[in-house]
Structure 1
Amino acid sequence: MNKIEDILSATADTLAERGYHETNLESIAERLDLTKATLYHYFSSKDDLVTASLAWVGIQVNEQMAQVNLDPEAPAADQLRFLIRTQLKVVVRERRQAARLFLYPLDWPEPHRGHVKQLRQEHDQIFRSVIERGLATGQFAVDDEATALHCLHGAMNYVPVWFRAKRAKDYERMYETMSGSLLRLFTPAQ
């Protein structure tokens, strides 16, 4: 990572741990072993830094998720399973702070609230497009699409709270178990 990415990552970690109001430039600078003046060299204010950090995390996650959705010919169930597995990898291993930053509600001031909402909607649309295709083709059946989608996101984003791996294979087992269990939210009853 370069210095700006280090700053954005440390900011995201601090925001996820402390929330917006308890995060300050001193705590971010201390985390990076930098001076506050160094942060001001790159960002003019806390709000500029927070905006950049949210965009950095949100765009990275959304781009990673959108890549999963490339093959419109793949069965919707396979795509949804892979989306779930990818989301779990993101929130458990790669970008743990992402789940916390984009949960609702957080204590974001109004200018940030809209940005977070937009990033969440983009993320949601990636899942929604696969689910809608599965519903249209009869691969999926749900009583209420919005409720099933909320349950899906809630379950995936709660995994970092309870999951603790002891070995590398524990991750793979959890990805498989969770994706299979969550996929059942959308599969027709037999």
Structure 2
Amino acid sequence: MVESVVSEAPGSSRVARRRDRRKAEIVRTATTLLSAQGYQGMSLEEVAERTDIAKATLYHYFSGKDELVGAVIEALTVDVNARLEAELDRVADASHLEQLRTLIREQVRILTDTAPEVATLFSWPKSWPESFDPMMKDSRRRHDAVFRRVVEAGMAAGEFDCPNADVALQCLHGVLNQSSLWIRPSLSGERRAELREAVVDTAARMFSPPSSGPR
């Protein structure tokens, strides 16, 4: 989920590519530790040990813990939004309702299946220093913008019966965040898939006209 932290230009040197790969490995390790232990529990010593480098070497890539955590937040934000945009491109010719359902489905899949660390760090974050508030708010704003674009287009087209987009989107994100608590890994694959579709159906009803009924 954090590969986007690496940016390998076509003409980049072998040394630069090796550095980028190591940087991505450090971010992946930090993501795992953050999701398991929270900000306070993650230490640079453990990150260095798990990536098999000296702690001093870690400072060649990141100036300190906060910069590394910031890289984790940014990488996850970029990756999640890229997945959502890819799904949106896939259904670009569909109705706005189907586009929204597709976004909801993919977000639930990310939170409960493909990248549960996103739920841990964003949906139910443990204590974060206040210095991260602007970064977290920016991450949520960029994520919300993907959904908002579809909702506002649906409203403009008269496809959505949504008196207040801000309220509806807040409710939607609340439902999506809760999905990681409902759809647990201990459930069977069939049951998890069933619950994901139930979330999609229920959440989408906040936007579709009452006359359209359930899908």
Is 1:84 equivalent to 2:110 in the alignment?
A: no
Residues 65 and 123 in structure 1, CA contact (< 8 A), matched pair in contact too: no
* Distance (Å, rounded) in 2 between the aligned partners of 1:114 and 1:106: 16
CA shift digits 1:64-94 (9 cap, x unpaired): 1122333654201100010011101111122
- Write out per-residue CA displacement over residues 111-142 of structure 1, whole angstroms, 9 at most, x where no aligned residue: 43222211211110100111111111222112
Amino acid at match of 1:16: S
Q: Tell me whether 93-102 or 82-91 shows the greater mean CA deviation.
A: 93-102
5 Å-filtered alignment, 1:5-154, equals: 5-32=24-51, 35-70=54-89, 72-103=92-123, 107-154=127-174
Evaluate the alpha carbon distance shift between residue 36 and residue 162 of structure 1 in structure 2; reply closer, same or farther with a 3 A threshold: farther
Distance 1:184 1:31 in 2: 45
1:4 lines up with 2:23 in the alignment? yes
What TM-score do you get using the length of structure 2 for normalisation? 0.76
What is the DSSP-based 3-state SS (H/G/I as helix, E as strand, rest coil) of the residue aligned with 1:43?
coil
Segment drifting more, 45-54 vs 67-76? 67-76
Instruction: Go from structure 1 to structure 2 and tell me whether the alpha carbon gap of 1:55 and 1:139 turns closer, same or farther (over 3 Å shift).
Output: same
Q: Distance in 1 between matches of 2:48 and 2:113?
A: 24
| Residue of structure 2 equivalent to 1:160 | 180
1:20 counterpart SS class: helix
- Give the fraction of aligned pairs with identical amino acids, expressed as a percent: 35
* Residue-by-residue CA offset, 1:130-162 (whole Å, 9 max, x unaligned): 111111122211243222211111111222223
Does residue 173 of the first structure (1) align with residue 194 of the second (2)? yes
How much has 1:171 moved relative to structure 2?
Answer: 3.5
8 Å Cα contact 1:69/1:130 also seen in 2: no
Q: Name structure 2 gaps, 5 residues minimum.
A: 4-20
Evaluate the alpha carbon distance shift between residue 159 and residue 181 of structure 1 in structure 2; reply closer, same or farther with a 3 A threshold: same
The change in CA–CA distance for 1:119 and 1:140 in structure 2 (over 3 A counts) is: same
Query: Which letter maps to 2:67?
Result: D
- AA aligned opposite 1:127: F
Aligned length: 190
Quote how far apart the aligned CAs of 1:23 are: 2.4
Provide structure 1 residue ranges, at least 5 long, that are not aligned to the other structure. none
> Relative to structure 2, which stretch is displaced further, 50-59 or 110-119?
110-119
Contact 2:29 2:50 in 1 (8 A): yes
Q: 70-79 or 45-54: which moved more?
A: 70-79
What TM-score, normalized to structure 1? 0.85
CA distance in 1, matches of 2:109, 2:52: 29
SS in 2 for 1:19: helix
What secondary structure is seen at the aligned counterpart in 1 of 2:210? coil
Aligned Cα root-mean-square deviation (Å): 2.5
* Contact in 2 for aligned 1:69/1:126 (Cα 8 Å): no
